[in-house]
Amino acid sequence: MMRKGKMESVASSSIIKRRSIQAIAVFSVFYIFVLYNMPFNFIYDDIAASQSFPSSSFPARKLVGDVITRTLPLEEQVDFAISAPARPRTLHAKVPVASAPASSSTPSSSSNRRALQVSGLVFQYTNATGPTSELDKVVRNAWETGIKVFTELKFGKFDEDENDRNQTMEKCPHSMVMSELEFIRNGSVLELPCGLTLGSHITLMAKPNKAHPEITPKIAIPKEGNQATIVSQFMIELQGLKTVDGEDPPRILHFNPRLKGDWSGKPMIELNTCYRMQWGIAHRCDGWKSRADEETVDGLVKCEKWIRDDDDHSEESKTKWWLNRIISGKKMVQIEWPYPFVEEKIFVLTLSAGLEGYHVNVDGRHIASFPYRTGFVLEDATGLSVSGDIQVQSVFSGSLPTTHPTFSPLKHLEISSQWQAPPLPPDGAVELFIGILSAGNHFAERMAVRKSWMQSIAKSPNMVARFFVAMHGRKKVNVDLKREAEFFGDIIIVPFMDSYDLVVLKTVAICEYGARVLSAKHIMKCDDDTFVKIDSVMMEVKKVAIGNSLYLGNINFHHKPLRNGKWSVTYEEWPEEDYPSYANGPGYVISSDIAHFIISDFEKHTLRLFKMEDVSMGMWIEQFNNTRPVQYIHDLRFCQFGCFDGYFTAHYQSPRQMMCMWDKLKQGKTECCNF
C-alpha cells in the first residue's frame, strides 16, 4: 500500500491537532465548571426530559453541553419524585437485616436521587457444630465490618461539600529531580502525584548492567541442554499507581530493551501495556524501521532503524560514508546508528508525552514511539518504575501538571440521565438477569459498561443488568460509590468488606437478586471488564428447551487446582485433586432453578464456599445435577482470555476497548479492538 500523500497527511494531522486543542478547551471549561460546582448533586435542568426518563426514547444528549447547562442551584430543584425501582412486593421473600430496602428510608427524596439498593443476601452466624473453615471466618469478619461501614455510609455525613472541594485539588511540583540514592531508597519508583500531561517529559540517566547468565530465563528460550542464557534487559514503565487498589498497577507503558536479544537472538526493544494482568499486543522494535504504510505517532515512526550486526556496519564504515558524503557531495546519505543501549555505557533516555503517544529518545535520537492505548489518560500515569539489569544515576521530570482534580470518579462518571437504569418491570419477570461483579473503585469500568453493551439491555424490556459491589477499604471510594449508585440506580451493594477471596459472595448475591427480587428465567454472571454481545447469548439460551436446567459458558472439564505460585490453592482450601466442571467466570449463564437452590443452601448454611467463584458455581451445579439433570453447554465464544472476532463475551476489555467494540457492534460487526 502506498503511503498517504504528504499534503493529505499534513492536513489530517493538523485536523487532529485542532481537534485535540478543541477537546482540551472543552475539557477545561468542563473542568472549571466542575471545580466551582462541587459537589455535584445530580441535578437536572430539563424537567420534561427528567419526567419522561427513564424511557428508552430519552434523547441522547452530549455530555459537555449537558453539564454546562445544568447550573440550577440546589434549592430550586423540583421534586421529581422518581423513586427507586421498588422491589416487587409479591416476590419479596424477606426483609434483609442490614438493609432497609429501597423505597422505605431514603432521607433525600427531594433530590433526583434513587434509593440505595442493597442486596437481600443475609449472612447469619451459625454456632457451627461442624468445623468452620478459614474462609467462613473471613466471611464472617468481612460481613461484620462491612455492615458497620455500610451503616455509617448510609446514615453518615461524609458527603460534606467543603471537604470535597478541598480534596479536589492536589498540588504538584512542575518538575522533579532524583539522585541515584533517592531513587533507590524510593524503591526505584519516581512518583508523579499529578500524573503527566501533554508535553511532560522524563529524562533518565542510567547504565545497563553487564549481561549475566540466567538459568531460568523469562525472556529467552533455554538453549539445548539447559545451558544458562546470557541476559541483559531492563524495564522502564509508566504505571497507574493510583488507579487500582489491591491489584498490580496497570502498566501504561512498558519499555523493555533486551540487549542480548530474546528468541530473536538480536538486540531488540519491546513496548507494551498491561491492564489487569493482561498484556496487550507487543510492539517490537528489532532494528528495522517501521514500514512506510504503518501508522505514525505525531508524525514519528513507531520503530527507528538501527545497525544490526548482520548489516556489518562499524565505526569504520561510519567514517567511510561521512567521507563519501564530503567527497561526492551527495545529500541523500542515510545515517545509521547502532542499537541504543550498550552494557556498562551510560545513556540518557527521554520519554515524552505527545498528542498521539509516548516518544522515546535515547542520547538525543528518536528510538521508538508508542501510540496511547487502553482506557488510561496521561494523568493516570502516576509513577515511573525502573527494574532489571540497570543502574539509574538520576531522574528528572519536567513540564508536569501542577494540579490534579484527584482521582475523583467525576473524571469517569458521566452524570447524564441517558445512562440511568430504567425501572424494573413491575412483576419482575424477565428472561435474563445479568449480574456484573465490580469493585468500589472501578468507576471507569462501570461507566464504560453503561455506555456500551448495557445500552442493548436498557432497550429490552425482558432483560435487566446490575452491578454488584461490596464495601471498599477507603471511605472516599464508598462515598463516591453511594452517589454513583443513587444516581444511576444500577448498583446493588452487597454489604461486606470487599476482598479478592470473597467475590463468591457477590455471585450468591447475584443469584438472590435474579431469583428473588426479580423472577428471571436465566441468570448471567459477568465481570466489569467483560463485554457481552447480548443477542448472541440470548440466542444460545433460547436453544435450550423450556424448563431444562442450564449451565452455559466456556466450560473447563477436569481442571486441577494450581498448587504453587501466586495464585496457588492450598489443600486446605481445596482438598480434592480435581475441580468440578465449571464455566469460566467472565461470562456464564444458569437457569433460575439452580439460583434458587444456591440461595436456599446458602441460607441453610450448607453451601460450601470456595474463593474462586466460578469453581464454586461448578461445584454447586455438580451437586444440583445429582438430583436434577443439568444441561452443560460449552462454547469457546465465551472468551476467557481477551477477545476474538465472533465472540459472545470478551474479557479483560478496558473502558476504551469497550467503547470501540460497541461502536463496531452498532455497525453490525462482532469484532474485537485488540490494540
Ligand X SMILES: *[C@@H]1O[C@H](CO)[C@@H](O)[C@H](O)[C@H]1NC(C)=O
* C-beta of 581 vs 653, nearer to ligand X: 581
State in angstroms the smallest separation of the CB of 177 from ligand X: 9
Greatest extent of the chain over all pairs of C-alpha atoms, in Å: 96
* C-beta of 90 vs 127, nearer to ligand X: 127
CB-CB contact of 296 with 354 (8 Å): no
Q: Which of 428, 406, 413 is nearest to 482 (CA)?
A: 413
Cα 172 to Cα 168, 363, 620: the distances in Å are 13, 28, 52
* C-beta of 7 vs 181, nearer to ligand X: 181
State in angstroms the smallest separation of the CB of 299 from ligand X: 32
* C-beta of 80 vs 158, nearer to ligand X: 158
* C-beta of 233 vs 556, nearer to ligand X: 556
State in angstroms the smallest separation of the CB of 386 from ligand X: 13
* C-beta of 108 vs 166, nearer to ligand X: 166
State in angstroms the smallest separation of the CB of 500 from ligand X: 26
* C-beta of 407 vs 551, nearer to ligand X: 551
What single letter denotes the amino acid at residue 155? F
Cα 113 to Cα 4, 48, 85, 550: the distances in Å are 52, 17, 11, 37
State in angstroms the smallest separation of the CB of 160 from ligand X: 7
State in angstroms the smallest separation of the CB of 623 from ligand X: 9
Cell numbers given for 211 = 549481561
CA distance 23 to 36: 20
State in angstroms the smallest separation of the CB of 621 from ligand X: 8
* C-beta of 162 vs 310, nearer to ligand X: 162
* Element containing residue 455 per DSSP (H, E): helix 454-458
State in angstroms the smallest separation of the CB of 421 from ligand X: 33
DSSP letter (8 states) at residue 233: B
Cell numbers given for 498 = 470487599
Backbone dihedral angles phi then psi of residue 662, each to the nearest 5 degrees? -65, -40
Q: Which of 422, 416, 420, 507 is nearest to 463 (CA)?
A: 422
* C-beta of 191 vs 336, nearer to ligand X: 191
* C-beta of 191 vs 431, nearer to ligand X: 191
* Element containing residue 394 per DSSP (H, E): strand 390-398
* C-beta of 218 vs 558, nearer to ligand X: 558
Interface residues with ligand X (CB under 6 A) are: 127, 162-163, 166, 176, 178, 186, 190-191, 581, 622, 625, 629, 632
Reduced DSSP (H G I as helix, E B as strand, rest coil) percent helix, strand, coil of the chain, to 5 = 30, 25, 45
Q: What order do you get walking across the sheet with 630-634 strand by strand?
A: 117-118, 491-497, 463-471, 429-437, 519-527, 582-591, 549-556, 630-634
What's the Rg (C-alpha) of the chain? 28
* C-beta of 147 vs 190, nearer to ligand X: 190
State in angstroms the smallest separation of the CB of 376 from ligand X: 20
State in angstroms the smallest separation of the CB of 141 from ligand X: 14
Cell numbers given for 383 = 509513577
CB-CB contact of 172 with 200 (8 Å): no
State in angstroms the smallest separation of the CB of 622 from ligand X: 5
Backbone dihedral angles phi then psi of residue 540, each to the nearest 5 degrees? -65, -45
* Element containing residue 468 per DSSP (H, E): strand 463-471
Instruction: Compute the Cα dihedral for 81, 84, 89, 93 and give only its sign.
Output: negative
Q: What order do you get walking across the sheet with 201-208 strand by strand?
A: 176-179, 390-398, 201-208, 347-353, 357-362, 365-371
State in angstroms the smallest separation of the CB of 140 from ligand X: 11
Q: Which of 196, 167, 175 is nearest to 377 (CA)?
A: 196
